[in-house]
Amino acid sequence: MSGLTLTALYYSPDLDVARARLAVVRAGAITAGARPNPSFAFSPEFVANSGTLSPWILAFSFDIPIETLGKRGYRIDRARHLSEAAKLEMASTAWGVRSRLRAAMLDWWAADRRADIASRELALRENLVEALERRVEVGGASALDVGREHVARDQAELLVQGEQRRSREARARVAAAVGIPEGALEEVSVSFHSFETAVLPDEPSAGEIRAEALLGRADVRKSLAEYAAAESALRLEVARQYPDIHLGPGYKWNQGENHFIFGFSAELPIFNRNRGPIVEAEARRKEAEVGFSALQARVVGEADRAVAVYASSRREAETAEVLADRSGKNVDRVRAAFDAGELDRVALRTAEIELTTAARSRLDAILEVQKAAGLLDDVVQRPLTAGPLPAPSETSARPEKETP
């Protein structure tokens, strides 16, 4: 699965969108760190009735803005936190790609295994029908028994076709999750070994899962980064209620006289103390705070549910394993009796059909364990039974398309 995961991270359009959003945020960081440019003014004057040697008055002036109270630093802090949030959003998107791929592969594996079991059951039921028809010929069974088995055989045939259809659908979902055409999977050898057994040796502790999720999940950390960005935005708006300073040095040549100007200006915060933007920033910070609290509560609930589901599904899988072993031993006893001539082929095929039913129940139980393990992985957003998820590149490795 690791190979398909890397392929999905390479081709995923969702990650392309996340990379583009990160590029936009990083471009905003450049804007946030920019210093305001000074301005230059040249204002010549002509004195029409001047009796001096030159009727011109030449004036040059500058406007040098100086930001006060660390406004630029607050902008940089906000941009830095937003950039961190965008990186964490990309990591969360990468996990979503991996999670969808695992779910699709699990459905593919389960459908293939169910199709194999249904095919074995179909072959056994066809053999059972033949054995009952021979019994009818010698008067050892009724036509009603044969008809009932004909219906069961037809149902088994429909089951095979249904599982084959579900397998094709799951395969198409795998291709969609990877971001490639379905036909590209024909040349790929896919291993489902990790789905064959319960993946965790022990039932995890709910407290450990909660702690790891709250400390390590990308979306939780992204929410914290967004709160920090909202805090920096609020501090910026508070600082903006105090005006910036503008220095205005200049020079004027006035008909032979040199005038040096030392200007100073600032906005007078009389009618507007930036109260509106401050209140808006406070509301956005409160929104980020409430959003984080809601996310935290949801993560705790997901962790508790995932641990409970995994524990119950493991117990069901253990019971299904015992029942499957019991059915297997029963088939061995019936086969030994058949070889000794004590039972006929009908009894043997009936026991073997019961074994396929137990095998299907065992497969369903393992499937539920795997789904529960997937829930645990999604809670902490990392594979609990494998190595760490490959980090997605912040820039796409694919060549850019040429713009016509």
Beta carbons of 65 and 246 less than 8 angstroms apart: yes
Confidence label for 3 from pLDDT (cuts 50, 70 and 90) = confident
- H-state helical runs in 179-274: 206-216, 218-239
Q: Give yes or no for residue 304 having a pLDDT over 80.
A: yes
Helix, coil or strand: residue 192: coil
Q: Give yes or no for residue 391 having a pLDDT over 80.
A: no
What pLDDT is attached to residue 294? Answer: 97
Query: Which CA distances in Å does 201 have to 10, 168, 369?
Result: 32, 32, 12
Residues 156 and 169: their CA atoms lie apart, in Å, by 20
Q: Which of 142-151, 190-199, 338-347, 370-379 has the highest mean pLDDT?
A: 370-379
Q: Going from the N-terminus, what domains does the chain have, and what CATH number goes with each?
A: 2-378 (1.20.1600.10)
Q: What is the DSSP letter of 179?
A: T
The label of the residue with tokens 């200007």 reads 263
Beta carbons of 45 and 103 less than 8 angstroms apart: no
Give the pLDDT confidence of 162-201 residue by residue, as tens digits: 999 998 999 898 888 888 888 777 777 777 777 765 455 5
What pLDDT is attached to residue 134? Answer: 79
Q: Give yes or no for residue 349 having a pLDDT over 80.
A: yes
Overall average pLDDT of the 242-271 stretch:
90
Query: Which CA distances in Å does 246 have to 38, 129, 140, 265, 269?
Result: 9, 98, 110, 5, 15
Overall average pLDDT of the 254-279 stretch:
90
What pLDDT is attached to residue 182? Answer: 80
Helix, coil or strand: residue 65: strand
- Helices 71-137 and 345-380 pack at an angle, to 10 degrees, of 180
Residues 77 and 71: their CA atoms lie apart, in Å, by 10
Beta carbons of 87 and 22 less than 8 angstroms apart: yes
Helix, coil or strand: residue 255: coil
- Predicted model pTM: 0.81
Overall average pLDDT of the 15-22 stretch:
91
